[in-house]
């Protein structure tokens, strides 16, 4: 999303570009459908208090012009709707947008899209002058450029980087985005003297059913347990450890740090009627997620009453009595107003049978940690300031989202376009 946006905008403004792609054009954005973020800087800072304030301000200021850019390519953005309680966004034909960017690039006789891997950046006298590519036939090719934008989608596809930069348990969690974003941009930038940030920033992902492989792109929404925000999540010890209601994406980060990074999600008839069978975001067709997961072989069960929760299959690794007692305690605390951890939004008891139980694991879509950048998308080398000629956008850029999130496509789009603007201004 970020790389295609930067390249297409540059072509539209008279520049020639070389877009290097090791996988599929569009990356994880191919699976998405909403351009959204917080409606104001105040709300963004409230929801992502640990992020860089300058980057947050840039995101808010540039978001509306970025939507105008999308529309300028003939891609419709639907009227704004609420997203994740605090956000506002537009359902958009993202694939059409990505395709429009591709056609813009391919339509320029001076520009090219090259299927290749980037071996290293070309650096001369401290200035990034382009990159050395490894092309399909194994040959090396040098591309020289006045500006180089790193936009490889993060490092979620590399188990070693996940383990070292997120959490040891993250090594084995499933990837619900493209598999070829393996930290190439991060490695290239660090080799050129860039700084990484922020440590422990986390990742964007969702809860998915344990042990159910993704068969195709349609599985992403069909198997994502969005309704977890209204259910109870218990770890292997039968204990709640997070406020489930603040967001399924935040719960996924919290679950990574629990024993074996897995847990049981328990909901009831109310949650099923009000949340499982209704759309997660307005305008999206709802699916019976629990039933889909059950039919696909997930560790899932239906208990007709609270006592049946004690009969969780022992081979799952949980103690059934602990699961039953945890839900009884949760319901008692809901009625008494003494939940621990407290719930910010839906503090309703889970007490209407039947009860729906499914084992869940966190799945990662993209990473928050990346190369530190300034508000103009210039890659920073610590106190030495920006690295001349080097920019980063999308998940390769760190510092915007730390421990929380307010729209991945919005960040990729706005900072991809900002990187292109910066490159054009500095060249001038």
Q: Tens digits of per-residue pLDDT, 41-85?
A: 999 999 999 999 999 999 999 999 999 999 999 999 999 999 988
Strands (E), 125-211: 127-135, 140-144, 148-150, 196-197, 203-209
Tell me, what's the pLDDT at 136? 83
Mean pLDDT of the chain, nearest integer: 95
pLDDT at 383: 80
Please give the structure tokens belonging to residue 68.
Answer: 């105008």
Instruction: Note whether 369 and 398 are within 8 A (CB).
Output: yes
Compute the distance between CA of residue 369 and CA of residue 389 in angstroms, rounded to an integer: 21
The full set of domains in the chain, from first to last, is 2-201+368-427 (3.50.50.60), 206-363 (3.90.700.10)
d(CA 369, CA 355): 38
Contact call for residues 121 and 390 (beta carbons, < 8 A): yes
- Nearest residue to 6 (alpha-carbon basis) of 359, 421, 311: 421
Going by C-alpha positions, the residue among 353, 363, 358 that lies closest to residue 271 is 353
More confident position, 30 or 411? 411
| Nearest alpha carbon to residue 155 among 170, 140, 143 | 170
Instruction: Compute the distance between CA of residue 304 and CA of residue 298 in angstroms, rounded to an integer.
Output: 19
Q: Provide mean pLDDT across the span 336-364.
A: 96
Q: For position 6, what pLDDT does the model report? A: 98
pTM of the model: 0.93
Which has the closest alpha carbon to 191: 139, 146, 131, 151? 131
Max Cα distance, the chain (Å): 72
What angle in degrees, to the nearest 10, is found between the helix axes of 408-427 and 53-72? Answer: 90
- Kindly tell me if the per-residue pLDDT of 333 is higher than 90: yes
Residue 368 and residue 202 in contact, taking contact as beta carbons nearer than 8 Å: yes
Average pLDDT over residues 24-41: 93
The residue among 363, 370, 364, 365 whose CA lies nearest residue 415 is: 370
Q: What are the tokens at 181? A: 């974003």
The pLDDT of residue 284 is above 80: no
Helix (H) or strand (E) holding 303: strand 300-303
User: CA–CA separation, 36 vs 92, rounded Å?
Assistant: 10
**In terms of residues, how long is the chain?**
428
Proportion of the chain above pLDDT 70, given as a percent: 98
Residue 209 pLDDT exceeds 90? yes
User: Quick one: pLDDT band at residue 220, thresholds 50, 70, 90?
Assistant: confident
Work out the average pLDDT over 13-34: 93
**CB atoms near residue 271 (< 10 Å):** 25
- Identify the pLDDT of residue 114: 95
Q: What is the pLDDT of residue 282?
A: 67
pLDDT tens across 232-276, in order? 999 999 999 999 999 999 999 999 999 999 999 999 999 999 999
CA-to-CA distance for 368 and 412, rounded, in angstroms? 12
Check pLDDT > 90 for residue 118.
Answer: yes
* Residue 35: band (very low, low, confident or very high) from pLDDT cuts 50, 70, 90: very high
- pLDDT surpasses 80 at 221: no
User: What is the Cα–Cα distance from 215 to 402, expressed in whole angstroms?
Assistant: 31
* pLDDT at position 215 over 80: no
Q: State mean pLDDT over 96-106.
A: 98
What backbone torsions phi and psi does residue 210 show, to the nearest 5 degrees?
Answer: -65, 135
Distances (CA, A) of 20 to 24, 134, 246, 424: 11, 10, 38, 19
What is the Cα gyration radius of the chain? 23
Half-sphere exposure of 316 (CA within 13 A, CB side): 26
Number of CB atoms found within 10 A of residue 339's CB: 15
Of 330, 329, 311, 331, give the one whose Cα is nearest residue 321.
311
| C-alpha span between 164 and 190 (Å, rounded) | 15
- 199-228 burial, b at 16+ Cβ within 10 Å, e below that, comes to eebbbbbbbbbbebeeeeeebbbbbbbbbb
Average pLDDT over residues 277-289: 77
Parallel, antiparallel, or unpaired: how do β-strands 112-124 and 18-21 relate? parallel
pLDDT at 218: 58
Cβ pair 147, 131 in contact under 8 A: no
- Quick one: pLDDT band at residue 217, thresholds 50, 70, 90? low
């Amino acid at each position: 999303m970020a790389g295609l946006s930067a390249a297409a905008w540059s072509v539209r403004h008279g520049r020639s570009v070389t877009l290097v792609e090791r996988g599929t054009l569009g990356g994880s954005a191919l699976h998405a459908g909403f351009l959204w973020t917080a409606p104001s800087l105040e709300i963004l800072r409230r929801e992502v208090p640990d992020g860089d304030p300058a980057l947050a301000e840039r995101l808010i200021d540039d978001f509306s012009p970025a939507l105008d850019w999308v529309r300028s390519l003939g891609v419709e953005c639907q009227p704004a709707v609420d997203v994740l309680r605090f956000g506002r966004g537009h359902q958009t034909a993202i694939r059409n947008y990505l395709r429009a960017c591709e056609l813009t690039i391919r339509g320029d006789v001076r520009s090219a899209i090259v299927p290749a891997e980037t071996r290293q950046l070309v650096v001369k006298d401290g200035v990034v002058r382009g990159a050395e590519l490894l092309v399909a036939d194994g040959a090396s090719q040098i591309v020289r450029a006045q500006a180089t934008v790193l936009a490889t989608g993060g490092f979620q596809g590399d188990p070693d980087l996940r383990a070292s930069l997120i959490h040891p348990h993250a090594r084995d969690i499933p990837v619900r985005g493209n598999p070829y974003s393996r930290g190439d941009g991060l490695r290239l930038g660090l080799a050129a003297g860039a700084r990484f940030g922020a440590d422990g920033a986390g990742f964007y992902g969702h809860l998915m059913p344990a042990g159910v492989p993704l068969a195709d792109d349609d599985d992403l929404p069909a198997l994502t347990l969005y309704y977890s925000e209204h259910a109870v999540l218990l770890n292997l010890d039968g204990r709640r450890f997070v406020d489930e209601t603040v967001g399924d994406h935040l719960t996924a980060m919290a679950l990574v740090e629990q024993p074996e990074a897995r847990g049981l999600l328990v909901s009831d008839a109310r949650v099923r009627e009000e949340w499982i069978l209704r759309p997660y975001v307005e305008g999206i067709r709802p699916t019976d997620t629990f039933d889909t997961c059950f039919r696909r072989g997930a560790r899932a069960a239906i208990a007709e009453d609270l006592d049946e929760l004690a009969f969780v299959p022992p081979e799952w690794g949980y103690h059934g009595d602990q699961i039953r007692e945890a839900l009884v305690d949760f319901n008692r605390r809901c009625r008494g107003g003494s939940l621990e951890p407290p719930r910010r939004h839906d503090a309703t008891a889970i007490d209407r049978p039947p009860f729906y139980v499914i084992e869940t694991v966190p799945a990662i879509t993209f990473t928050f940690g990346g190369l530190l950048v300034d508000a103009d998308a210039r890659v920073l080398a610590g106190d030495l300031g920006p690295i001349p000629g080097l920019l980063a956008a999308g998940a390769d850029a760190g510092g915007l989202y730390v421990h929380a999130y307010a729209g991945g496509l919005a960040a990729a789009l706005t900072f991809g376009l900002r990187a292109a603007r910066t490159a054009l201004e500095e060249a001038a």
